């Protein structure tokens, strides 16, 4: 009996050390001061940079350290994606509206009016496939163009910069933000020690960090987020002249974000909120769309920039190089099978067309290997392009043979090229893909260009360009996340780094976590510069007041005035909103005139967080009843705290009073529908100081 108790007792750290000690080597590998090596035991001299010919030059295929590290990383999950596992896809088309023929021969960007079928996949980065949609995270924004010249994948994010400068660091970044391996949590969250430990030791990550801690990190909808190609690519014209390009996606439904409390509420109330919203929008014919824009600049322009445009932690402000809109994408068809059209979908930045090329961005160079390697592993072999969702919609001809899941007829004697036995077989063509010429002279080494050394100037520019309430949201997000960090030295180091961005930012974060003042910052490699403010970097500057593609919830109960409900509903619908009736029961209620009013949602299972604005229409009797109903009080409280416009009748005002809400100018009477539409069309950050104590 005693023996059984001893076997079932909880293991202690001493027990674990004993187990490790039996293996000897494992304990030694984990000991302090051990030399970093490859899996073959070869000591690594530089784990920070990929191998290149010269600073800013292309990454070399012979970099076995990079290849081993990334190929191992790509195979860490079976069969789920290591990153971007939580995603949703939809079909649609891209239509070119402005030809770029002077810059490229790629027909998808030169033939005005042509419609190209596309598949878009929108995703979170950190969480597993079963995680919630509304977590704070970078979002993936990938589009597969099925062109008549082959497939082109524009693989990006909803943030125009990235955490790291070199692909060598990508496994480290992701390992730091994923679940901590000794405990298996937290899921889909960066609010823990390992992430902030890595970030605080990686100054180049500061710029992206501020973006993801801003409202960009919690979009209201997949339909209301921007997309960016992140990297600098090249377009190549018929003369072989190359022009640098950065890609931008601008949402037709406008930009919109969640408040943090709203995001948390939705993660619990409806973890599928974003994918449900996208699916329902397409089903009801309110097709989401984006304009495709480009920033074009020459190598000579790049020399004049105050930063290196091949550094993926940097961006080109729209004030320096305006965004030129060249086309539009519309998503108009939901998938029929999520596994076949989402899980099997394979994207890669290596898929480009004749008339396009890569740059020597070292993060991009590593991604060109990593994505294909991951797909070969995850999708079971070299013929994954034959799966319907990945298959080109143009002729395919080559001498690649056999392999898992080979589905193409492959008759004939010849499986090689050149040959003289298959005269009608595929041959090279002058119109095929050709790389732009680059200067590759230099010494082989693990370079980090000196032009990449300024890690804080653009982060400072971004933070100082935000509106005051947006700055407060960034401060609040960092305070929240650092409040989850258990190790004091990590918190202190991160606050010290923030002093390089902005002294007031560091001071406010320090106060928020309980430090009397920010710790002293370490010296920077290069002086931090004050760059011109960029209004285009403000999320709020792009959030135009609108009810188009937004949702309005109307809370009703027994005895509700039907005319008021119909008036509010009709005016909101006419403005482009989706209107849903929320009732104490899903069967609906009987209105004041005896008419049955059908419900779309039951109050006890519906938070006001799912709506962009609300109206409350109650009789005196139903108001008295709902004033003691927790769900009804929270419905009103949350909408008010989430800075939404609220329309009420007299019964609705009674509910607000019972909820402890002191009405402000954005709580309006439903007798004036136009006034309600005005306040319903946007968030009201001016209310925030009255509902939250911001750091």
Average pLDDT over residues 203-211: 98
CA distance 617 to 556: 5
Average pLDDT over residues 491-505: 98
Q: How many CB atoms lie within 10 A of CB 280?
A: 13
CA distance 105 to 236: 7
For 60-92, b/e burial (b = at least 16 CB within 10 A) is eeebebbbebbeebbeebeeebbbbbbbbbbbb
Residue 28 confidence (pLDDT) above 50 = no
Tens digit of each residue's pLDDT (9 = 90 or more) over 418-468:
999 998 888 888 888 888 877 777 777 888 999 999 999 999 999 999 999
Write the Ramachandran bin of 329: left for phi over 0, alpha for psi from -120 to 50, otherwise beta.
Answer: beta
CA distance 146 to 134: 30
CA-nearest of 529, 537, 525 to 165 is 525
Average pLDDT over residues 621-640: 97
Is the N-terminal amide bond of 418 cis, ω within 30° of 0? yes
Computed from CA positions of residues 339, 343, 347, 348, in that sequence, does the dihedral angle turn out positive or negative?
A: negative
Residue 640 confidence (pLDDT) above 90 = yes
pLDDT of residue 444: 78
H/E stretch holding 69: helix 64-74
Tens digit of each residue's pLDDT (9 = 90 or more) over 189-202:
999 999 999 999 99
Average pLDDT over residues 561-585: 97
Tens digit of each residue's pLDDT (9 = 90 or more) over 292-350:
999 999 999 999 999 999 999 999 999 999 999 999 999 999 999 999 999 999 999 99
- Round the average pLDDT of the chain to a whole number and report it: 91
CA distance 107 to 440: 29
Average pLDDT over residues 507-523: 96
- Tokens 């693990």 sit on residue: 446
Q: What's the pLDDT band for 18 if we cut at 50, 70, 90?
A: very low
The better pLDDT of the pair 669, 30 is held by 669
- Please tell me what DSSP assigns to residue 148: B
Superfamily of domain covering 455-541: Catalase, four-helical domain (1.20.1370.20)
Q: What's the pLDDT band for 40 if we cut at 50, 70, 90?
A: confident
Tens digit of each residue's pLDDT (9 = 90 or more) over 360-404:
999 999 999 999 999 999 998 888 899 999 999 988 888 888 888
Which residues of 21-165 form beta strands (DSSP E)?
51-52, 87-96, 115-124, 139-147, 150-157
Residue 489 confidence (pLDDT) above 50 = yes
pLDDT of residue 77: 64
β-strand pairing of 324-334 with 289-297 = antiparallel
pLDDT of residue 44: 83
Cα–chain center distance at 404: 33
Domain boundaries, the chain: 51-386, 455-541, 545-691
Does domain 545-691 fall under CATH 3.40.50.880? My reply is yes
Residue 31 confidence (pLDDT) above 50 = no
Class of residue 377 by CB neighbours under 10 A (exposed 0-12, middle 13-18, buried 19+): middle
pLDDT of residue 411: 83
pLDDT of residue 24: 39
Does domain 51-386 fall under CATH 2.40.180.10? My reply is yes
CA-nearest of 284, 391, 285 to 340 is 391
Q: What's the pLDDT band for 33 if we cut at 50, 70, 90?
A: low
Cβ–Cβ under 8 Å, residues 462 and 454: no
Tens digit of each residue's pLDDT (9 = 90 or more) over 76-103:
765 789 999 999 999 999 999 999 999 9
Tens digit of each residue's pLDDT (9 = 90 or more) over 133-191:
999 999 999 999 999 999 999 999 999 999 999 999 999 999 999 999 999 999 999 99
CA distance 32 to 189: 28
Distance separating the N- and C-terminal Cα atoms of the chain: 57
CA distance 124 to 141: 9
pLDDT of residue 541: 86
Active-site residues, by number, are 84, 157
What long-range pairs does 316-323 form, CB within 8 A, spacing at least 24?
316/246, 317/461, 317/532, 317/534, 317/536, 317/537, 318/534, 318/536, 319/532, 319/534, 319/535, 319/536, 321/295, 321/296, 321/297, 322/295, 323/248, 323/250, 323/293, 323/294, 323/295
Tens digit of each residue's pLDDT (9 = 90 or more) over 529-563:
999 999 999 988 888 899 999 999 999 999 999 99
Cα–chain center distance at 178: 16
Number of H helices, E strands in the chain: 22, 20
């Amino acid at each position: 009996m005693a023996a059984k108790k001893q076997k079932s007792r909880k293991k202690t750290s001493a027990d674990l050390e004993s187990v490790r000690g039996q293996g000897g080597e494992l304990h030694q590998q984990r000991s302090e001061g051990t030399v970093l090596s490859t899996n073959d035991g070869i000591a690594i001299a530089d784990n920070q940079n990929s191998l290149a010919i010269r600073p800013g030059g292309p990454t070399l295929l012979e970099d076995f350290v990079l290849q081993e590290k990334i190929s191992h990383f790509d195979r860490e999950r079976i069969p789920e994606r290591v990153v971007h596992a939580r995603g949703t896809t939809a079909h649609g088309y891209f239509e070119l509206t402005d030809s770029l023929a002077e810059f490229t021969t790629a027909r998808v960007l030169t033939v005005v009016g042509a419609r190209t079928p596309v598949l878009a996949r929108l995703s979170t980065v950190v969480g597993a496939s079963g995680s919630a949609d509304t977590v704070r995270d970078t979002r993936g924004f990938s589009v597969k163009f099925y062109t008549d010249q082959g497939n082109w994948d524009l693989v990006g994010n909803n943030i125009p910069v990235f955490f790291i400068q070199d692909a060598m660091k990508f496994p480290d970044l992701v390992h730091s933000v994923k679940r901590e391996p000794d405990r298996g949590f937290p899921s889909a969250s960066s609010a823990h020690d390992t992430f902030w430990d890595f970030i605080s030791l990686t100054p180049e990550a500061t710029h992206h960090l501020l973006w993801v801690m801003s409202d960009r990190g919690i979009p209201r909808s997949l339909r209301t987020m921007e997309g960016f190609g992140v990297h600098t690519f090249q377009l190549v014209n018929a003369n072989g002249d190359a022009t640098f390009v950065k890609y931008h996606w601008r949402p037709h439904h406008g930009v919109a974000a969640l408040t943090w409390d709203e995001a948390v509420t939705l993660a619990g109330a409806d973890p599928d909120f974003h994918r449900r919203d996208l699916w329902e929008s397409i089903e009801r014919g309110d097709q989401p769309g984006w304009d495709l824009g480009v920033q074009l600049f020459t190598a000579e322009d790049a020399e004049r920039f105050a930063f290196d445009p091949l550094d993926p932690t940097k961006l080109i402000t729209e004030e320096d190089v305006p965004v030129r809109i060249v086309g539009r994408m519309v998503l108009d068809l939901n998938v029929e099978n999520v596994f076949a059209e989402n899980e099997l979908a394979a994207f890669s930045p290596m898929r480009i067309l004749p008339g396009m090329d890569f740059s020597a961005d070292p993060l991009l160079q590593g991604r060109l290997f990593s994505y294909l390697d991951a797909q070969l592993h995850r999708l079971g072999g070299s013929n994954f392009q034959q799966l319907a969702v990945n298959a080109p919609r143009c002729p395919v001809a080559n001498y690649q043979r056999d392999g898992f899941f080979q589905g193409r007829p492959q008759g004939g004697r010849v499986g090689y090229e050149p040959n003289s036995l298959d005269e009608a077989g595929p041959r090279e063509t002058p119109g095929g893909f050709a790389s732009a010429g680059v200067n590759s002279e230099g010494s082989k080494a693990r370079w980090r260009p000196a032009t990449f050394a300024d890690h804080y100037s653009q982060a400072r520019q971004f933070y100082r360009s935000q509106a005051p309430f947006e700055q407060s949201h960034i401060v609040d997000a960092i305070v929240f996340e650092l409040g989850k960090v258990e190790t004091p030295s990590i918190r202190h180091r991160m606050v010290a780094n923030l002093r390089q961005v902005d002294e007031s930012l560091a001071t406010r974060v320090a106060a928020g976590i309980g430090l009397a003042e920010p710790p002293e910052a370490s010296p920077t490699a290069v002086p931090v510069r004050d760059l011109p403010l960029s209004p285009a970097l403000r999320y709020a500057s792009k959030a135009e007041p609108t009810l188009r593609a937004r949702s309005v919830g109307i809370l009703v109960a027994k005895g509700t005035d039907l005319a008021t409900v119909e008036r509010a509903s009709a005016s909101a619908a006419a403005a482009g909103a989706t209107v849903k009736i929320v009732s104490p029961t899903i069967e609906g209620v009987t209105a004041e005139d005896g008419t049955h009013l059908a419900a779309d949602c039951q109050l006890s299972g519906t938070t006001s967080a799912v709506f962009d604005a609300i109206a409350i229409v109650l009789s005196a009797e139903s108001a008295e009843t709902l004033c003691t109903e927790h769900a009804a009080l929270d419905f009103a409280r949350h909408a008010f705290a989430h800075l939404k416009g609220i329309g009420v009748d007299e019964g609705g005002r009674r509910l607000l009073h019972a909820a402890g809400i002191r009405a402000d100018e954005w709580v309006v009477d439903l007798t004036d529908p136009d006034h309600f539409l005005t306040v319903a069309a946007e968030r009201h950050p001016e209310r925030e100081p009255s509902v939250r104590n911001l750091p």
